[in-house]
Amino acid sequence: MLAKRIIPCLDIKNGRTVKGVNFENLRDAGDPVELAKRYADEGADELVLLDISASLEARETIYDLVRKVGEQINIPYAVGGGITSVAQTYKLLRNGAEKVSVNSAAVRQPQLVSDIANEYGTQCIVVAIDARKVGEEWIVHTHGGTKPTEIELFSWAKHVQDLGAGEILFTSMDHDGTKNGFAVKALRKMNEELSIPVIASGGAGSKEHFKDVFKEGKADAALAASVFHFGEIPVPDLKDYLSDNDINVRRT
């Protein structure tokens, strides 16, 4: 059985790590390079760097910061935010990223997923999906969660898998930053319908939430931000807890 992955997420705005609730009310969480090094030293399996305002501001992502992070850590990391082309993917990979994460651009230009997968392999392309419950349906949102679409979550996830996505990063906007637990039912459904790994995001507030998302939600990886950034759940303590609860995690 593959080990479950613990992935701290660094949401970047104006060169700083920030964190909010339900994608709003952002507060400073520290220097991203320093945080990245700390997580690598603590035994995180991977990192995700998201330039959260790149799509809204219609600009490219943060190459210099990506390079600086890569110089300080020895674990894989994905970069997302404002990626709209294979050329940008090349620049990010050249600056040290192992994967790129596309969200808004994939909705606008689904062929981009196939283009990146064909050029660099499916292992290099993560499709991030931000969604919230609207009535009885999960609806995909873009541009940092600010723009609702008419796309249903599970059909979209299956479509991008068919296009060549190597992983799905699913963030429940309803759960994001609330610390009330992950969207376990939706994650379980997604994992049952897909053959590629699913990363759970949105709602981590306790060690038990991670246990639930792995055991009940069947997630392949769990991503969190504030509980790591503000020292509420140290990565080594979390891995000890998960291992004690019969969840296979990598140990340093």
**Residue 212 is a catalytic residue:** no
pTM of the model: 0.91
Catalytic residue among 11, 45, 212, 220: 11
Pull the structure tokens for residue 246: 């019969």
Mean pLDDT of 67-78: 95
Look at 108 and 59; give whichever has higher pLDDT. 108
Is 174 known to be catalytic? no
CA angle 8, 14, 18 (to 5 degrees): 35
Category of 143 on φ-ψ map: left (φ > 0), alpha (ψ -120 to 50) or beta: left
Question: Residue 187 belongs to what H/E stretch?
Answer: helix 184-193
Residue 237: C-alpha distances to residues 29, 56, 251 (Å): 20, 36, 11
CA angle (9, 10, 16) in 5-degree steps: 170
Q: Provide the pLDDT for residue 143.
A: 81
Percent of the chain with pLDDT over 90: 76
> What digits encode the pLDDT tens for the residues 11-24?
888 777 775 554 44
Domain range annotation of the chain: 7-244
CATH topology of domain 7-244: TIM Barrel (3.20.20)
Residue 26, pLDDT score:
55
Mean pLDDT of the chain: 91
Tabulate helix, strand, coil % of the chain (nearest 5).
35, 30, 35
What's the CA angle centered on 204, arms 167 and 209, to 5 degrees?
95
- Identified catalytic residue from 45, 130, 212, 220: 130
Q: Summarize the confidence of residues 25-54 as an average pLDDT.
A: 84
130 beta partners:
141, 171
Q: Which two tokens stand for residue 244?
A: 């004690």
